[in-house]
Every structure is written in structure tokens, then in C-alpha cells.
Amino acid sequence: MATTTTTTGPSTAVSDGAGVTPPLPPPRWVDGNPSFYQITADIARPMEARPGRAWWILFAISSACLLNLLVMVSYLFAKGIGVWGLNNSVGWAFDITNFVFWVGIGHAGTLISAILLLFRQQWRTSINRSAEAMTIFAVMCAGLFPLIHMGRPWDSFFIFPYFPNQRGPLWVNFRSPLVWDVFAISTYLTISLVFWFLGMVPDLATIRDRAVGGLKKIIFPSSAWAGTDRTAPGRATRSSA
């Protein structure tokens, strides 16, 4: 018996001569039929609940790693950046190599978000936010290494071109790669923060509405967002008019 396939819109029906079988149902990503309130409560529970033992263990390990970083960097400042292999003939030692590494990690997060956005993938939300957060933290890590590379981070304000200043007509050397790092990192970090924050506005508004204390409402700002892209502070939205 011949079997024919009939295409009707997004679904495909199969005919075996005796009749047409119904199309397959779309896949379900959530078991059962939970309400939107239950889904929101399940997602917000990790932020609203008190940290457990595993969280404190991981926090202790992270704090120990941070303490080790502070000790090692203090030793570096005391002995000089030559301990990282930097000398007259080696300009790209351990610090600048790590700077490029973290910038590359940040570019990877931006690339992931951009590709999913350009292809309009509807399932991209959670991946985009993780990738954008990865970009922000990678840029923050990258910004540490030019400061350490200077050897005297307490004088880092000298590489920021600001006016007026106490140096009179003396400005920074705009041909210096350190000044380029300042502009590159600050611009990249600002754009990444804006890109990340705009996507998080609905979620921050949800956490703000569920917050029970005044401090949490300050920690989770949402720019007076009320469920529409036409919301403006102090003005009624078109959807509610």
C-alpha cells in the first residue's frame, strides 16, 4: 500500500490510504500544568531562600581562592612584576597574556548572545543571560591585569584622561597601550552591562514585586517597568490606558 505525506502548515500529516493520522503534538518543556505564579515561585526560590550548607562550602572555597590571590598579588607588588617573567625583552608576560585570555572569554559570551539574537531563537533567553553575565565577569577579570601590570596600581588614576586635573597642561600619552586598555575595557564593560540589564528588566521587576524588605527593592531596580515596552516612570502605559 502506498503511503503519501501531506504537508499542512507547520505540522505534517501522514496518509496511508485509509485515512490521515493526526499531526504529532508539540513537545512540552514543563511537566504538568503549573500556573505562571508557580513557575515564577520555582525560579525565584534560589534567590529568596536562605543559603544551605553546599552554598557556604563553595563560598568558603571561593573566599580562600580570593585570599590566595591577594597574598600572591601583594608578593608581586613587594618583589616587582619581574616575578611574572616580564623584563626588557619580554613585554607580554603572565599578566598581559591573561588579560588577552579573559578578553577572549568575554568575546565568546558576546558572540553567543549575538548569534542567537540575530537568528531570533525563541529559546535563547536563559543562554543569553548566562553568556552576558560571563562576558561581564570576564571583562572585570581582564581589567585587573593592566592595573597589576603597572606595578603601582595606586597610581592608576594617572592613565585616566580627566579634566580639570592637578597636572595642568600635562595629559596622558594616548599612544600608550595602557590608555588603550582603559578605553577598550570601559567601553566594552559599559555596553555589556547595558545589554545584560535591558534583558533582565522583566526579571528584576518580578523580584522587586516579590521583595518583602526595602533593601531588596533597592538591590533589584527595574526602572519602573510594569509589563510593557512603553512604560515610562510617572506616566501611565498605553496598555493600561
Q: DSSP of 136-199, one letter per residue?
A: HHHHHHHHHHHHHHHS-GGGGGGGS--SS-TTTT----TTSHHHHHHHHHHHHHHHHHHHHHHH
| Least confident residue range of 77-86, 98-107, 228-237 | 228-237
pLDDT the model gives residue 53: 93
pLDDT the model gives residue 234: 42
Among 90-94, 193-197, 237-241, which range has the highest average pLDDT? 193-197
* Total residues found in the chain within this entry: 241
Mean pLDDT of 204-224: 69
* CA-to-CA separations, 208 to 44, 167, 185, 213, 214, in angstroms, rounded: 11, 45, 30, 10, 10
| DSSP state letters, 29-47 | SSSS---HHHHHHHHHHHH
- For residue 175, pLDDT beyond 90: no
pLDDT the model gives residue 83: 86
pLDDT the model gives residue 51: 87
H/E run at residue 68? helix 53-79
Longest dimension (CA), the chain: 93
DSSP code, position 26 = P
List all residues 6 or more positions away from 86 whose beta carbon is below 8 Å from its beta carbon: 93, 94, 95, 149
pLDDT the model gives residue 222: 54
CA 44 to chain centre: 18
- 159 compared with 111, residue with greater pLDDT: 111
Residue 137 — pLDDT band, cuts 50, 70, 90? Answer: very high
What tens digit of pLDDT does each residue of 3-13 get? 444 444 444 54
Q: Which residue has the cell 533589584?
A: 220
CA 145 to chain centre: 20
Cα angle 42-202-37, degrees, rounded to a multiple of 5: 30
Tell me the residue type at 217.
Answer: K
* CA-to-CA separations, 148 to 3, 39, 98, 152, 166, in angstroms, rounded: 71, 45, 11, 7, 24
pTM: 0.70
pLDDT the model gives residue 169: 66
- 94 compared with 20, residue with greater pLDDT: 94
Whether 93 and 103 have beta carbons less than 8 Å apart is answered as no
